[in-house]
Amino acid sequence: MADFDAIVVGSGMSGGWSAKELAERGLKVLVLERGPEILPERDYTDRLPPWERPNLDRVPQDEIAEHYPRQYGGVAYAIKETTKHFWVKDDEHPYEEAEGTSYDWLRGYHTGGRSIMWSRQAYRLGPQDFEANGREGVGVDWPVRYEDIAPWYDHVERFAGIAGSAEGLTQLPDGVFQPPFALTCAEEDFKARVEAAFPGRNVIPARVAHVTAATEEQRGLGRSNCRVRNRCEHGCVYKAYFSSLNATLPAAQRTGNLTMVHNAIVQSIDYDPATARVTGVRVIDAETRERRVYTARVIFLNASTIASAMILLQSTSESFPNGLANRSDQVGRNLMDHISGAGASGLMAGFEDKTVYGRRPGGIYIPRYANVTETEKPFRRGFGFQGSATPVSTTGGQLVGIGRAFKESHSAPGPWRVGIGAFGEQLPSPENRVTLHPSRRDKWGNPVAILNVTYGDNERIMMEEARKDAIAMLEAAGCTDIRSAEVELTRPGNRIHEMGSARMGRDPATSVLNGWCQAHDVPNLFVTDGSFMASSACQNPSLTYMAFSARAAKYAADLMADGTL
């Protein structure tokens, strides 16, 4: 008799969904979280006003050098004195990079994982994204199509709360939306000019996972509308933005079927060759070093793309000498992220007597047009732009003058600036991978990751073209003082959209998972974090992880109900 019906490894963006959906089906669910517990009332810092944040909210420089050199190097904007507890200490959680490569593995270990710190941009993949691999012969064909996942996007959007506008764009399908954060007057002007100059390009409000018209279900979970404070990286006492901690975990908890264990670092998964099933997970307690085994009928891996692949690789047996569910040798391969490093900004005249009120969570989005509405590009796939057009901030002290005039210049009418930056698709490559270090171990005795990811010509050419496009759109919008740095590709991992390390596909010989996120080799093992992605598309991926997690959980629960599992 197993301890639980299901074990979910990881409590972040996708793990919360797995737990919620399984628990709501009446299954007894254990969620294992490797980090400590986050208690919103104790650990959220969003209500601290600026004058109660010490030292301009800066983390001491010596502390950054000792504990956060990689994390801070990747996301300095998010690591503050009052948020640093949401990010791992690099010296406690080391990783290595293959010679000649560089990788930003940016993360937090605690209840909710990175769903607490994410940027909350939430977009559906479109039909083209599920068809491109097969059509182009790149990687493996997705075993699902947009129509398969569309109802699950509906399902997760309805629960999560997505502020967005219906635009009728094929490549970026509409969803179940709450009211969007309207475009600023300068963004409206930018939109009109860009869309007139470039038919086929669109400027729309960013779609963000923020409640703006709370439903009864959301209010029942203690969630309320976004207060437009822009304090999300500190947590949100209003639970207005979607996170596991704000939404899915409380929903799972209220079923009475959830058991949550913190500080439980999964070392491996046990496999029984007699039944060809996984039977449980082995963990070590992060604090006490105590080792335990939890058993269950079904296991969901939601540890995050790199960590889930590592757990599979660490789970060797006679049946799986190269790692659990890895007969295809694809576990850890095809690691992708999105790519940035191209953009532009410029001044927009005519709005000096206007300003905005509130600090909204998202700005504008320019959905992919390359190889959709515009063809004959010198690269495959495409990119979207994120950006905004707002009054130029003046509180950084970089205005000329002193005295009364200088002081009052901070509230005087001033210019507006529009800025856009590209997020591009990275093609899958089996050579881009995570492997286990042969000898180096972390302080819990687990192998350290070696990350080996490089970009190809397609990514480089794409970003050069994106930069040209950004400048052209700003010129079309009548901008002055256009600034655009030479393209400098972001380090792999820097967009914090890692995915693809256990891709889904139709053929067990070339893919790890089937279209239900179920391991080809092990029917009661599911992987529903970003690992399953067969291609990266260019949209922010979290919404897709949510939808596939919910769909996989329903599938698993059905198989358990009919006795198959």
Partner 1 sequence: MISRRTVIKNLVISVGGSSLLSACGGRVTLGAAPPGGSPRFYTEREIAVLSRVSDLLLPRTETPGALDAQVPSLLDQLMAEWASRETQDEHRTALAELDARLGARSAGDFLDATSAVAEQALIAVDRAAFSGEQIEGYRDLKGLITQAYFATEAGAEESQWVGVPGRWDPCMERS
> Which residues ranging from 439 to 478 are in contact with partner 1 (CB under 8 A)?
none
Token representation of residue 424: 């591009």
**Is 77 near partner 1 (CB under 8 A)?**
no
Q: Which stretch binds partner 1 (CB under 8 A): 113-121, 265-273, 356-364, 378-386?
A: 356-364
Distances (CA, A) of 433 to 90, 503, 539: 20, 12, 21
Q: Least distance from C-beta 470 to partner 1, angstroms? A: 22
- At 105, is the secondary structure helix, strand, or coil? coil
Candidate residues 101, 165, 316, 355; the one interacting with partner 1 per rule CB under 8 A: 355
**Is 133 near partner 1 (CB under 8 A)?**
no
In the block, tokens 């560089």 appear at 102
- In eight-state DSSP terms, residue 210 is B
Candidate residues 1, 41, 50, 563; the one interacting with partner 1 per rule CB under 8 A: 50
Candidate residues 55, 288, 375, 439; the one interacting with partner 1 per rule CB under 8 A: 55
Query: CA 306 to CA 434: how far, in whole Å?
Result: 7
**Is 350 near partner 1 (CB under 8 A)?**
no
**Is 181 near partner 1 (CB under 8 A)?**
yes
Q: Which residue's CB is nearer to partner 1, number 7 or number 183?
A: 183
Q: Exposed, middle or buried: residue 65 (CB in 10 Å: 0-12, 13-18, 19+)?
A: exposed
Q: Which residue's CB is nearer to partner 1, number 378 or number 406?
A: 406
**Is 292 near partner 1 (CB under 8 A)?**
no
**Is 85 near partner 1 (CB under 8 A)?**
no
Q: Least distance from C-beta 5 to partner 1, angstroms? A: 42
Candidates 42, 47, 46, 39; CA nearest to 245 is 39
Angle between helices 542-561 and 146-160 (to 10 degrees): 100
Query: CA 537 to CA 256: how far, in whole Å?
Result: 37
Counting residues that bind partner 1 (by CB under 8 A) gives 46
Q: Which stretch binds partner 1 (CB under 8 A): 102-110, 119-127, 290-298, 357-365?
A: 357-365
Q: Which residue's CB is nearer to partner 1, number 50 or number 100?
A: 50
Query: CA 544 to CA 541: how far, in whole Å?
Result: 5
Q: Least distance from C-beta 357 to partner 1, angstroms? A: 4
**Exposure letters 236-260 (e unless 16+ CB within 10 A, then b):** bbbbbbbbbbbbbbbbbbebebbbb
Q: Which residue's CB is nearer to partner 1, number 93 or number 360?
A: 360
Q: Which stretch binds partner 1 (CB under 8 A): 4-12, 305-313, 396-404, 448-456?
A: 396-404
Q: What does the longest C-alpha to C-alpha distance in the chain come to?
A: 82
Q: Which stretch binds partner 1 (CB under 8 A): 59-67, 377-385, 446-454, 524-532?
A: 59-67
Q: Which residue's CB is nearer to partner 1, number 274 or number 402?
A: 402
Candidates 548, 528, 533, 513; CA nearest to 155 is 548
Q: Least distance from C-beta 343 to partner 1, angstroms? A: 22
**Is 183 near partner 1 (CB under 8 A)?**
yes
Q: Least distance from C-beta 407 to partner 1, angstroms? A: 5
Query: CA 440 to CA 446: how far, in whole Å?
Result: 8
Distances (CA, A) of 477 to 64, 148, 196, 472, 482: 41, 39, 10, 9, 11
Token representation of residue 476: 């079309």
**Is 219 near partner 1 (CB under 8 A)?**
no
> Which residues ranging from 401 to 440 are in contact with partner 1 (CB under 8 A)?
401-404, 406-408, 410-411, 413
Candidate residues 138, 185, 448, 476; the one interacting with partner 1 per rule CB under 8 A: 185
Q: Which stretch binds partner 1 (CB under 8 A): 24-32, 194-202, 336-344, 397-405?
A: 397-405
**Is 229 near partner 1 (CB under 8 A)?**
yes
Distances (CA, A) of 434 to 92, 268, 333, 504: 19, 17, 7, 17
Q: For 424, how many CA atoms within 13 A lie in the half-sphere containing its CB? A: 33
Contact 467, 484 (CB under 8 A): yes
Candidate residues 60, 69, 220, 456; the one interacting with partner 1 per rule CB under 8 A: 60
Contact 57, 82 (CB under 8 A): yes
Q: Least distance from C-beta 367 to partner 1, angstroms? A: 20
**Is 233 near partner 1 (CB under 8 A)?**
no
Q: Which stretch binds partner 1 (CB under 8 A): 182-190, 242-250, 289-297, 306-314?
A: 182-190
Residue 480: in which H helix or E strand, if any? strand 480-483
Q: Least distance from C-beta 228 to partner 1, angstroms? A: 5
Candidate residues 137, 147, 400, 486; the one interacting with partner 1 per rule CB under 8 A: 400
In sequence order, the β-bridge partners of residue 301 are 9, 527
Contacts to partner 1 by CB under 8 A: 49-51, 53-56, 58-62, 65, 181-185, 187-188, 227-229, 353-360, 395-398, 400-404, 406-408, 410-411, 413
